[in-house]
């Protein structure tokens, strides 16, 4: 398959991220999977990419142990809005930092629909994450399938609300995950055309919110039923900087192959 050549695309490090959500929760089992992923990464020529994992909360410590000194990063699927304090049942960014994690997933569709997380709460968490020099992986996207102007308005509204108070220096560290709610947990991802159009639209919204230069630095990845079948086509676009994998990455070989496909498409 052809490689993309874009002046701007080359500046952005491609990403393959994966969330285990609450599917894989036993530290020992997850440790073995992570060990295999790290071994696979060592043997692949993918050093130019950024690969990271969001394990379920109870397995973070184990994952941190395996990831130490490797090419695989990790993060938390959620954090409390403040570093510490009376937030019973939440996970503190202090723990993540102490464990050597770098990424914080925020605003996932499941957090919003199952736990009623609001934009205000997400915003606080983005600010905390950036103030601690960590990387927010901010999920955005429409819940009901739509296109064109309506989609652009929804995406712009979300971006404006969540990012507009962040200064330009910091906002370039945010990774945007375009995850349309209707495409999560399905047999197939959104159509390739829809993904490419939406990513172009998100980039355009970032330009309007910030500057063209800032927008060109922000990485935008796609998530929602990503599998080996479509991954090459998904990333075959200059505005798609990688993928956010869910269920179809549980099998280590599949995940490694997804990384391989992305690396082939985005090779420098």
Catalytic residues: 108, 179
**Strand residue runs (E) in the chain:** 15-19, 50-54, 72-76, 103-106, 135-140, 175-178, 219-223, 242-245
User: Minimum CB separation from ligand 13P for residue 134, in Å?
Assistant: 18
Q: Which is nearer to ligand 13P, 59 or 210 (CB)?
A: 59
User: Minimum CB separation from ligand 13P for residue 207, in Å?
Assistant: 25
Residue 20 as a binder of ligand 13P (CB under 6 A): the answer is no
User: Minimum CB separation from ligand 13P for residue 57, in Å?
Assistant: 15
User: Minimum CB separation from ligand 13P for residue 185, in Å?
Assistant: 5
Determine which residue in the list 223, 230, 239, 256 makes contact with ligand 13P, applying CB under 6 A: 223
User: Minimum CB separation from ligand 13P for residue 227, in Å?
Assistant: 8
Determine which residue in the list 14, 15, 19, 125 makes contact with ligand 13P, applying CB under 6 A: 19
The neighbouring-strand residues paired with 50 are 15
Contact 138, 106 (CB under 8 A): yes
Question: Token digits for 149?
Answer: 């102007």
Residue 53: how many other CB atoms lie within 10 Å:
27
* Per-residue three-class SS string for 130-160: HHCCCEEEEEECCCCCCCHHHHHHHHHHHHH
Q: Which stretch binds ligand 13P (CB under 6 A): 88-96, 127-135, 196-204, 224-232?
A: 224-232
Residue 180 as a binder of ligand 13P (CB under 6 A): the answer is no
Q: Which is nearer to ligand 13P, 140 or 216 (CB)?
A: 140
Pick out residues in 226-265 that bind ligand 13P (CB under 6 A).
226, 244, 246-248
Q: Which is nearer to ligand 13P, 105 or 216 (CB)?
A: 105
Residue 111 as a binder of ligand 13P (CB under 6 A): the answer is no
Q: Which is nearer to ligand 13P, 93 or 137 (CB)?
A: 137
- Which residues, at least 6 apart from 244, have a Cβ–Cβ distance to it below 8 Å? 17, 18, 19, 137, 177, 179, 221, 222, 223, 226
The contact pattern for ligand 13P, residues 138-177, with x = CB under 6 A and - = no contact, is ----------------------------------------
Closest CA to 242 of 195, 184, 183: 195
The distance between the two most distant Cα atoms of the chain, rounded to a whole number of Å, is 53
Q: What is d(CA 245, CA 226) in angstroms, rounded to the nearest whole number?
A: 6
> DSSP character for 70?
S
Q: What is d(CA 133, CA 152) in angstroms, rounded to the nearest whole number?
A: 30
Q: Which stretch binds ligand 13P (CB under 6 A): 59-67, 80-88, 93-101, 221-229?
A: 221-229
Question: Token digits for 42?
Answer: 């060592």
Determine which residue in the list 185, 212, 229, 267 makes contact with ligand 13P, applying CB under 6 A: 185
**Strand residue runs (E) in 20-71:** 50-54
Residue 224 as a binder of ligand 13P (CB under 6 A): the answer is yes
Residues near ligand 13P (CB under 6 A) are: 19, 108, 179, 184-185, 223-226, 244, 246-248
């Amino acid at each position: 398959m052809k490689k993309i050549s874009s002046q701007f695309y080359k500046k952005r490090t491609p990403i393959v991220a994966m969330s285990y959500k609450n599917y894989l929760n036993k530290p020992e089992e997850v440790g073995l999977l992570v060990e295999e992923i790290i071994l696979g990464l060592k043997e692949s020529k993918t050093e130019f990419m950024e690969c990271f994992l969001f394990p379920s909360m109870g397995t973070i410590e184990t994952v941190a142990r395996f990831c130490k000194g490797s090419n695989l990063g990790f993060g938390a699927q959620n954090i409390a809005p403040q570093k510490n304090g009376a937030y019973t049942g939440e996970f503190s960014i202090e723990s993540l930092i102490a464990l050597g994690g770098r990424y914080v997933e925020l605003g996932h569709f499941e957090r919003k629909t199952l736990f009623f997380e609001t934009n205000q709460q997400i915003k606080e968490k983005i600010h905390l994450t950036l103030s601690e020099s960590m990387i927010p992986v901010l999920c955005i996207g429409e819940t009901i399938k739509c296109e064109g102007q309506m989609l652009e308005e929804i995406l712009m509204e979300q971006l404006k609300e969540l990012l507009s108070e962040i200064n330009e220096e910091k906002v370039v560290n945010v990774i945007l995950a375009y995850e349309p709610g209707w495409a999560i947990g399905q047999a197939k991802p959104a159509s390739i055309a829809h993904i490419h159009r939406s990513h172009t639209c998100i980039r355009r919204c970032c330009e309007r919110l910030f500057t063209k230069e800032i927008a060109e630095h922000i990485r935008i990845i796609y998530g929602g039923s990503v599998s080996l079948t479509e991954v090459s086509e998904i990333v075959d676009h200059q505005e798609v900087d990688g993928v956010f994998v869910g269920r179809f990455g549980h099998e280590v070989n599949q995940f490694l192959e997804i990384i391989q496909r992305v690396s082939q498409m985005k090779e420098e």
